[in-house]
Amino acid sequence: MADPARVLEEALELEPRQRARLAHEIIRSLDESDEDAAALWRAEVGRRIDEVENGTTELEDWELAYQRLRAAVQR
């Protein structure tokens, strides 16, 4: 089995379009295991869009989010 921290590190070296494709394929692989996943994701995305548009959520700077995620993966 691949080391998740190493996979993430290598994935982050890809071009943005390649990273987006990889993320899409990973999410799609999760969706295949649950017939309701697509509907649940659409609802979640809609909820998050509403929160951003209504100003009812706190947005996080990408650099801070990136640092937090890398730290979590390296644990």
pLDDT of the residue at 71: 92
pLDDT of the residue at 51: 96
pLDDT of the residue at 33: 63
Instruction: Extract the residue ranges of the chain whose pLDDT is less than 70.
Output: 31-35
The residues, ordered by sequence, that sit 6+ positions from 22 with a Cβ below 8 Å of its Cβ are 11, 14
pLDDT of the residue at 39: 84
Domain count for the chain: 1
**Domain span holding position 23:** 4-74
Name the residue with tokens 């644990």. Answer: 75
- Other beta carbons within 10 angstroms of residue 11's beta carbon come to 13
pLDDT of the residue at 6: 93
pLDDT of the residue at 35: 67
Residue type, 30: L
